[in-house]
Amino acid sequence: MVNIVIKDDELTANLIGEIDHHTSVSIREVIDKQIQTAMPKMTILDFSKVTFMDSSGIGLVMGRYKLMQSIDGSLKVTGMSNHIKRVMMLAGLSKLVIIE
């Protein structure tokens, strides 16, 4: 599940619950639709309410990174638990996106 908050040039996607191959499909559809409408300068993916994530989360971050790049914006990732960080680090995502 995902809740979107848009303020000025910033779009925050609050991710909630489990992120896997099944759930990531609808999550990315919602986020992409909102990004394409709002055209923010910065998108923030907040993982603080994510209870489980497998490598589908990496695809979710990489895909949004590419989308933000295509509109000259940037992507920030926040609120990752240690476990989620371990999964993300496998992909070397810290080189691409801002991690807080």
**Is 63 among the residues that bind another protein (CB under 8 A)?**
yes
Strands 98-99 and 2-7: unpaired
**Is 86 among the residues that bind another protein (CB under 8 A)?**
yes
Provide φ and ψ at 20, rounded to 5°: -140, -170
Using CB under 8 A, which of the segments 4-12, 22-30, 37-45, 70-78 binds another protein?
A: 22-30
Cα–Cα distance between 77 and 94 in angstroms, integer? 9
- Say if residues 9 and 42 touch (Cβ distance below 8 Å): yes
Q: Which of 26, 39, 49, 52 binds another protein (CB under 8 A)?
A: 52
Contact residues: another protein, CB under 8 A: 18, 20-24, 28, 52-56, 58-60, 62-63, 82-83, 86-87, 90-91
